[in-house]
Structure 1
Amino acid sequence: MGRYVARRLLQMIPVFIGSTLIIFLMMYALPGDPVRAMMGDQAYDPSVVASKRKELGLDLPILQQYWNYLSGLVQGDFGTQIASQQPIADVIARVFPVTIRLTIFAFAFVSIVGIGLGIIAGLRPDTLRDRGLLTLTLILVSMPSFVLGFLLQWLLAFQWPIVKPTVQDDTDITQLLLPAIVLASLSLAYVARLTRTSIAENLRADYMRTAVAKGLPRRRIIGVHLMRNSLIPVVTFLGIEIGNLMTGAIVTEGIFNVGGVGNEIYQALIRREGATVVGIASLMVLIYLAASLIVDLLYAVLDPRIRYA
């Protein structure tokens, strides 16, 4: 197991470099000048812009800029915002906890409700509740998150004043519940359908008939034999979905005025702040890689037959 983990950690290095390089090149290939955007509509001297670009290292070849960025990143330096001259690490430290809280609530909602609905439907396939779940999840899959967000905002905040329409305090858990539900809606549909399909398929497996024939208690048959084998594809999806929830928060945070990573990326794109976007994206890549490794290690916990040499 230790050798497998070490090998996976080494494999993450080229993956991280390749991912961040692609993001870096895409951001700096976009039209516009962050220094010019910083000056707004006011008159400017081209020599001042050129001097500022040289000061920030934006006049260097693109690969040299990436190497400088990567060298600083190894030392924990994510760069500096051009507009505010604030370290990007401080920006991430300010907005990332908000997105983390929102993602945790969304992930918990997806895991508990999605798996629960999938189990209920999968244990009784081709019944009324099974068809009802498939219909509900199909609606959620077909509905864009911004449509669902505005719909729930209109219903629960304006028609029935149960919650506030926007998040006014990022530390208030109750104000983050509605954005978390909207953020989790698409993932919830996929998890419920995937759990339902996996359980319905494993119910017909030979090992399940053997467990029943041996006279094992139904609770043990479902809780140990059925669930542990059925959750392997679900765990795979949930591990990847952690990163998707964080990146998907851009739309949700905009609807509910949440001051998290998504809102910061949106503002950085408007200002052509490539360093901010790349810095946040680099952290997202690390989260994806860590989640992927944890999911692979969980396979051996769920299925004892899986071992890593």
Structure 2
Amino acid sequence: MGRYVARRLLQMIPVFIGSTLLIFLMMYVLPGDPVRTAMGDQQFDPAIVASIKKDLGLDQPVLLQYWHYMTNLVQGDFGTQISSGREISDVISEAFPVTLRLTLFAFTFVTLVGLGLGIVAGLKPDTLRDRGLLLLTLVLVSMPSFVLGILLQWVALEYGGDTFKATVTDSTNFSELLLPATVLAALSLAYVARLTRTSVAENLRADYMRTAVAKGLPRRRIIGVHLMRNSMIPVVTFLGIEIGNLMTGAIVTESIFNVRGVGIEIYEALLRREGATVVGIASLIVLIYLATSLIVDLLYAVLDPRIRYA
């Protein structure tokens, strides 16, 4: 197991470099000039613009710029925003906890509700509650997040009173994050519920389940140990990837509910062509993807003792 973890950690290095390089190149080829965008509509002297680019290193070849950026990033220096002059690390330290709080709230909602609905429907397939779950998840999958967000905002304004807020004014207040977390979790909840339902229904008909029943084992042990551990393997895989998807999918949700997280920062950085801000935030999200992927692989051995890593 130790060798496997060490090998996976070494494999993360080229994946991280390749991901950040791709994002860096995508920002480089975008039309627009971050220096001129920062200067706004005022008149500018081309010589001054060229001098600023030289000071920032933007006149160098793109691969050399990437090398300097990664060298500074390893030392903990994310760079400075051109438009505001703020340290990007300060921007991330303010915005990242907000998105992380919203993501964890949504992920908890997805895990508890999605698994619960999927298990209830999977234990009794082809029944009324099973068809009801499939209909509910179909509605959630087909409804765009911005439509659901606006609909919940209208409900909050009409009937929410002081309990539900249509916009977020305090990101540390979990009651105000309830609506955006629900919108963010809706699509993932539908997929988790469907995946859990299918996995439970399939394993319920497996040979080892009939053997467990024939042995006379208690129903609680049959379902809680034999059925659930085998049914959760594909669900855990999906949930591990979904943490990163929830963070990247928060851009629309944060803009609807006025949540000042990394989604808003990425959106505004794209408008200003602030490539360093986008790459810095994306680098943290890539690291989260890699870490959750490793944790999911290690959980396989916990759920299924037959899985061992040499």
> Normalising TM by the smaller chain, what interval?
over 0.9
Q: Which amino acid aligns with 2:118?
A: G
Deviation string 1:166-191 (CA, Å, 9 cap, x unpaired) is 00011111101110010000000000
1:250 equivalent to 2:223? Answer: no
TM-score, normalising length: structure 1:
0.99
Aligned to 1:260: 261
1:142 aligns with 2:155: no
CA distance in 1 between partners of 2:276 and 2:28 (Å): 9
* Distance of 2:160 and 2:261 partners within structure 1: 27
Which residue type is aligned with residue 126 of structure 1?
D
CA distance in 2, matches of 1:177, 1:215: 44
Report % sequence identity: 79
Aligned counterpart, 2:128: 128
Q: Deviations over 1:204-263 (max 9, x none)?
A: 000000000011110010000000000000000000000000000000000000000001
Which residue of structure 1 lines up, in the alignment, with residue 36 of structure 2? 36
- Alpha-carbon distance, 1:85 to partner: 1.4
Q: Secondary structure at the match of 1:234?
A: helix
Check if 1:154 corresponds to 2:154: yes
Q: Deviations over 1:253-299 (max 9, x none)?
A: 00000000001101111111111001100111000000100000000
Post-superposition offset of 1:5: 0.3
CA distance in 1, matches of 2:159, 2:54: 55
AA in 2 matched with 1:48: I
CA distance in 1: counterparts of 2:235 and 2:226, whole angstroms:
15
Give the secondary-structure state (helix, strand or coil) at the position aligned to 1:174. coil
Q: CA shift at 1:73, angstroms?
A: 1.1
User: Would you say the 8 A contact 1:78–1:88 is kept in 2?
Assistant: yes
The residue aligned with 1:12 is 12
Output the amino acid matched with 2:99. Answer: T
CA distance in 2, matches of 1:33, 1:46: 12
Preserved CA contact (<8 Å) 1:191 1:234: yes
Q: Report the equivalent of 1:236.
A: 237
Matched, 1:117 2:117: yes
Query: 1:158 deviation in Å?
Result: 3.1
Cα RMSD between the aligned structures?
Answer: 0.8
Contact 1:158 1:165 (C-alpha < 8 Å) held by counterparts: no
Q: Which residue of 1 aligns with 2:190?
A: 189
**Mapping of 1:270-289 within 5 angstroms?**
270-289=271-290
Equivalents in 1 of 2:44, 2:75: separation in Å?
35
- Give the residue type in structure 2 aligned to 1:241: E
Q: Which amino acid aligns with 1:269?
A: L
- The letter for the 2-side match of 1:173 is F
Unaligned runs of 5+ in 1: none
Given the superposition, is the C-alpha separation of residues 54 and 158 from structure 1 closer, same or farther in structure 2, using an over 3 Å criterion? Answer: farther
Of 255-264 and 72-81, the range deviating more from structure 2: 72-81
Deviation at 1:160, TM superposition (A): 4.3
Deviation at 1:159, TM superposition (A): 4.6
**Structure 2: which 5+ residue stretches go unaligned?**
none
Shift of 1:303: 0.7
With over 3 angstroms needed to count, the CA separation of the structure-2 counterparts of 1:252 and 1:283, relative to structure 1, is same
Matched residue, 1:204: 205
**Mean Cα deviation higher: 162-171 or 62-71:** 162-171
Q: Is the 8 A contact 1:80 1:87 kept in 2?
A: yes
CA distance in 2, matches of 1:169, 1:221: 45
- How many angstroms does 1:157 deviate by? 2.3
Matching residue of 2:84: 84
* 1:62-103 residue CA offsets vs partner (Å, 9 max, x unmatched): 000000011111111111111111111111111000001000
The residue aligned with 1:163 is: 164
In the TM superposition, what is the alpha-carbon distance from 1:136 to its structure 2 partner?
0.4
Cα distance in 2 for residues equivalent to 1:164 and 1:147: 17
Q: Does 1:99 align with 2:92?
A: no
Tell me how far apart the structure 2 counterparts of residues 118 and 88 of structure 1 sit (CA, whole Å).
42
In 2, the alpha carbon distance for the partners of 1:164 and 1:119 equals 32
Deviations 1:149-168 (CA, angstroms, capped at 9, x unpaired): 00111112235434111000
* Superposition TM-score, scaled by structure 2 size: 0.99
Matched residues in 2 for 1:296 and 1:268: separation?
34
- Give the counterpart letter for 2:252 in structure 1: V
Question: How far apart are the structure 2 equivalents of 1:160 and 1:190?
Answer: 28
Separation in structure 1 between the aligned mates of residue 201 and residue 116 of structure 2, nearest angstrom:
14
